Amino acid sequence: MTYLMILLLTLKPAAVWAAEDQKQEETEVPEESRTQEDRELNQVAAEVSAPHALLMEVSTGTVLMEKAADEKVHPASVTKIMTLLLILEALEDGKIVLSDMVTVSEHAASMGGSQVYLEPYEKQTVDTLLKCIAVASANDACVAMAEYISGSEGDFVKLMNARAEELGMSNTHFVNCCGLDAEEHLTTARDVALMSRELLRNHPQIHEYCTIWMENITHQTARGSFEFGLTNTNKLIRQYEYATGLKTGYTSVAGFCVSASAKKENIELVAVIMGGTDSKSRFQDAVTLLNSGFACCSLYTDENRAALPKIQVKGGVEGQVGLQYADEFSYVSTDGSNLSQVERVPELPEEVTAPVEKGDRIGRMVYVLNGREIGSTELMAADTVERAVYGDYIGQVFRIFLL
């Protein structure tokens, strides 16, 4: 027993194992390695009539095709995608609720362009104003919501620009919340796709608004009550079977624009068209991109249902710690690869050293297709394991003897 006590006293806990962060780098594919499908996709993008276009797969953010997607342009009412995103984030955070009554200011009621003719001091619910923005592209409803959330349109625009920076929209600057032309109110097709993806991925309830074709709202004003009809500005909702949204825009400066989302089976795409010459051609261009994307894309999704091994813990009150995935993994193929052949290869240490905090990075799961790594997701500690102290070792010894 004396020998055992000396042995316990000489144990020295070490630092927790921590692997270096594996920064996933994008590599440019050499021209000779590009597949026929990739070349065909780029050809489709070149053939759209609009000067600026981009097609993105939503779950992964993979850009499938693009055309002058980083040139700065005026976005018109496509701006409202960011406004809608901030409204839905405020709802999610509990800052506002759909049943809140919003009082329309004189400034909001004075907005020109597309509108639903809100009157000063009229009250509408957040839910109704969301419909006015998503369906009828109402500038007055946008400003009313901006003021309700931030106190003023100017302060709301600051939130828009801050959120754009967070999303990596490096070529975007907003001046107003509704898209009225201003010299410095600029974005790109790529940046529009980024904010569209954020809205679609994290707030799928937006489809409940964007897919409304026609609906009436009721104005309650000092002059009395009257009905006003909303009609969706996005004609693809009626004309394209896979359409799910998202937002149109037009001014004489911006031209005809659309961020068109669509879903077919398990693949969701967003096609951005900027600067089109007429309304019909912007929708035709969007459908051309969407159809080409659906024709060539296949999607692999690992929903992480497979059991993960436990990792030995050195110097902890528990001898093992379970693992969990940081997030799901998705991969888009456009080359016809058999995605059932994707292999999952865990990269894990033999053991870690206590203390281990829940959420600590332990390793990663690597996904390999045809001998090539196509991506990875981090593996995290599922529980906390404290460092064992002298008393814990004594307790372990007594438990051993009692067994």
Determine how β-strand 224-231 pairs with β-strand 372-381. Answer: unpaired
Can you give the length of the chain in residues? 403
Q: Predicted confidence band at 348 (pLDDT cuts at 50, 70, 90)?
A: very high
pLDDT for the residue 45: 73
Please tell me what DSSP assigns to residue 366.
E
362 Cβ neighbours under 8 A, 6+ residues apart: 17, 19, 311, 321, 323, 348, 349, 352, 379, 380, 381
pLDDT for the residue 14: 33
pLDDT in tens, 153-208: 999 999 999 999 999 999 999 999 999 999 999 999 999 999 999 999 999 999 99
Fold of the CATH domain 34-296: Beta-lactamase (3.40.710)
The token pair that represents 99 in the structure block: 């049943």
Active site annotation includes 77:
yes
Distance between start and end Cα atoms, the chain: 16
Chain-centroid distance, C-alpha 362: 26
Given the residues 59, 105, 114, 137, select the one marked as catalytic.
137
What are the DSSP calls for 108-121, one per residue?
HHT--SS-----TT
**pTM for the complete prediction?**
0.82
The rounded percent of the chain whose pLDDT value lies above 90 is 80
Determine how β-strand 351-353 pairs with β-strand 311-314. Answer: parallel
Task: Give the CA radius of gyration of the chain.
Answer: 27
Given the residues 80, 131, 259, 263, select the one marked as catalytic.
80
pLDDT at 26 over 50: no
pLDDT for the residue 10: 39
pLDDT for the residue 40: 67
Q: Predicted confidence band at 44 (pLDDT cuts at 50, 70, 90)?
A: confident
pLDDT at 5 over 70: no
Question: Do the Cβ atoms of 156 and 105 come closer than 8 Å?
Answer: no
Q: Where are the domains of the chain?
A: 2-30+302-402, 34-296
pLDDT at 396 over 70: no
Instruction: Look at the block and give the residue holding tokens 């953010």.
Output: 61
pLDDT at 126 over 90: yes
Instruction: Look at the block and give the residue holding tokens 């990075």.
Output: 361
pLDDT at 371 over 90: yes
pLDDT at 121 over 80: yes
pLDDT at 209 over 90: yes
Active site annotation includes 80:
yes
Please choose, from the candidates 244, 332, 247, the residue with its C-alpha nearest in 3D space to the C-alpha of residue 282. Answer: 247
Average confidence (pLDDT) over 374-388 = 95
pLDDT for the residue 32: 45
pLDDT at 81 over 60: yes
The answer to whether the annotation marks 264 as part of a ligand binding site is no
Q: Is 364 helix (H, G, I), strand (E, B) or coil?
A: strand
Higher-pLDDT residue of 35 and 361 is 361
Average confidence (pLDDT) over 54-59 = 97
Active site annotation includes 261:
no
pLDDT for the residue 147: 99
Average confidence (pLDDT) over 137-150 = 98
Please choose, from the candidates 162, 133, 135, the residue with its C-alpha nearest in 3D space to the C-alpha of residue 146. Answer: 133
Instruction: Look at the block and give the residue holding tokens 């509108």.
Output: 115
Which residues are 255's β-sheet partners?
A: 251
CA 195 to each of CA 59, 69, 83, 134, 255: distance values in angstroms, whole numbers, following the listed order? 13, 14, 10, 15, 20
Given the residues 77, 259, 261, 330, select the one marked as catalytic.
77
Q: Predicted confidence band at 33 (pLDDT cuts at 50, 70, 90)?
A: very low
pLDDT for the residue 43: 75
How far is residue 128's CA from residue 112's CA, in Å, rounded to a whole number?
Answer: 19
pLDDT for the residue 307: 83
The token pair that represents 245 in the structure block: 């949204």
pLDDT for the residue 4: 36
Give the range among 119-123, 217-221, 300-304, 387-391 with minimum mean pLDDT: 387-391
Average confidence (pLDDT) over 102-118 = 96
pLDDT for the residue 318: 93
Average confidence (pLDDT) over 62-72 = 96
pLDDT for the residue 189: 99
CA 77 to each of CA 93, 138, 271, 323: distance values in angstroms, whole numbers, following the listed order? 25, 9, 16, 45
Which CATH code, of 2.40.50.140, 2.60.410.10, 3.30.300.30, 3.40.47.10, is assigned to 2-30+302-402? 2.60.410.10
3-state helix, strand, coil in the chain (%, to 5): 35, 30, 35
Average confidence (pLDDT) over 87-99 = 98
Average pLDDT, the chain: 89
For 145-207, give the secondary structure using H, E and C.
HHHHHHCCHHHHHHHHHHHHHHCCCCCCECCCCCCCCCCCCEECHHHHHHHHHHHHHHCCCHH
